[in-house]
Amino acid sequence: MTSTSRLHVSRGEGFALGLIATGAISVAVAALVAVVRGGVEIFGSAPTVRMLVTGGEVPDLAGVPEISAAAFASADVTFTGLPAAVGWMLWLELALPALATIGVCIVAWWLGVSLMRARPFRRAMSTAIGVVAVLVVVGGVLGQVLGAFGRAFLVDDLAVTSPQVVDVFGTFVMELDLAPVGWGFALALVAGAFAIGARLQRETEGLV
């Protein structure tokens, strides 16, 4: 028979784990609120979109001798309204990474609770971490792609009546950040470690 006296955490460890779990849930709620607020802004009557500009000069810095050139990289543009497809793409640009953040926070909360119960190695835990790894990669990369296409479609729509916008906004500009891919690989390794830990735990329990 196995002894359960070792399966516990100290009071200080429990407090720290509880604090981390509570913080993770708080971040998840904040991310959800940001998604809702972003949807209200994008689908509202006067949406503001950060557009990438091509070579917007900064005249106030022209006389600074230590600066050879300066240009705006983006501009916050307020529209009277957005096409429906563009609105959904821009909202998904915000929502998909937020969904990944919510998934990570939920797993962090679950892991904190499991550690407080001194039983973190579960098959479901490795599965959950693997799902979150996919969410981080897909949400991070796909969100950027949808945002770039949404802005491109918006520029094309504006160019029908105002061709000069093509000289200000890039028709298709995407600053691809591959950090979500790296985080996804790291989470996948963590999922693998938990799967191996769960298997070793079952084998150890079977030997006792």
What is the model's pLDDT at position 2? 43
**Highest-confidence range of 37-41, 53-57, 121-125, 156-160, by mean pLDDT?**
37-41
What average pLDDT does range 11-34 have in this prediction? 90
CB of 81 closer than 8 Å to CB of 158: no
Averaging pLDDT over each range in 3-12, 77-86, 107-116, which range is the top one?
Answer: 77-86
| Token pair for 55 | 């070579």
The dihedrals phi and psi of 176, each to the nearest 5 degrees, come to -70, 125
* Spatial contact of 181 and 140, defined as CB atoms under 8 Å apart: yes
In degrees and rounded to multiples of 5, residue 8 shows phi and psi of -155, 165
Rounded CA gap, 141 and 155, in Å?
22
In the prediction, which pLDDT does 85 show? Answer: 94
Q: Residues of 31-57 as b/e, b for ≥16 C-beta within 10 angstroms? A: bbeebeebbeebeeeebebebbbeeee
With DSSP H G I counted as helix, E B as strand and the rest as coil, what are the percentages for the chain, rounded to 5? 65, 10, 25
